[in-house]
Structure 1
Amino acid sequence: MTTCDSPIPGRLCALQLRLHRVRARYKAPYGAPPWCAEPAAGRTAAARTYGTRRLRERVPRLSAAVPTHPHWAAVGRGRVVDARTELTHVRTAGAEAA
């Protein structure tokens, strides 16, 4: 599932990866479509709005869950910034493994 080669708990790595994925899915419709793109057949505007709303609700919850995880209380004060930076790079390791 996730590849954490560090003392970061697997649950926290999974939360971070889920946050990256949800944020990417939320941002995807706002990017410029390719020149040959046609509107998706069969999806109504209501369905697209519902999916976007669900993602928009999940992003803040996941964004709050990562920094408030109990693991950070066990990390020494001088090491917190390095550990959080290390956690952001888990996305790369997880993407390479998938």
Structure 2
Amino acid sequence: MSENDTPAFPADLTALQTRLHSARAELEALGRTLPWSVEPMPGWAPKVNDNTGEVIKPGREPSPGYTPEQLAEDTRLRALVRDLSDQVSTHPYWGTFERGPKLVDARIALKSHPDVLASLPATAA
């Protein structure tokens, strides 16, 4: 689908897609700050080849687990992403297409539509 073939999406659908992109970006950013395990877990030492000294499997520091606030925010953002994904994928606009390549192309085009990308922070695109 070329730029000239880009469907004219309804404003509410592009707004939903924008919110979905933003929510995913927030969830990813949060994930980069969280401990590696939700529950407190012990770490482990790296496995090293006795003959060469080469690290075969890296070790890991212990995880303190998520704080209640971190868990609540992670849960909230995951629910928001699921809800927005559902709203985008079941929007009545998709009913105007027959099943097939044109529908797939339109769904893909929405994700990178200029109106959607223009309203996102640089880190979310």
TM-score (norm. length: structure 2): 0.55
CA distance in 1, matches of 2:108, 2:119: 15
Structure 1 stretch displaced more, 55-64 or 74-83: 74-83
Tell me if 1:10 matches 2:11: yes
Aligned with residue 76 of structure 2, among 37, 50, 54: 54
**Which has the greater radius of gyration?**
2
CA deviations over 1:22-42 (Å, ceiling 9, x no partner): 111111122279xxxxxxxxx
Equivalent position SS for 1:7: coil
Number of residues of Structure 1 aligned to a counterpart in Structure 2: 82
Identity of aligned residues (%): 35
CA deviations over 1:40-75 (Å, ceiling 9, x no partner): xxxx92222211111111111111111110001113
Aligned with residue 102 of structure 2, among 79, 86, 90: 79
Structure 1 stretch displaced more, 68-77 or 18-27: 68-77
Question: Which 5+ residue runs of structure 1 have no aligned equivalent?
Answer: 34-43
Runs of 4+ in 1 over 4 A off after TM superposition: none
TM-score (norm. length: structure 1): 0.68
CA RMSD of aligned residues (A): 2.6
More helix by share: 1
Question: Which 5+ residue runs of structure 2 have no aligned equivalent?
Answer: 1-5, 35-65
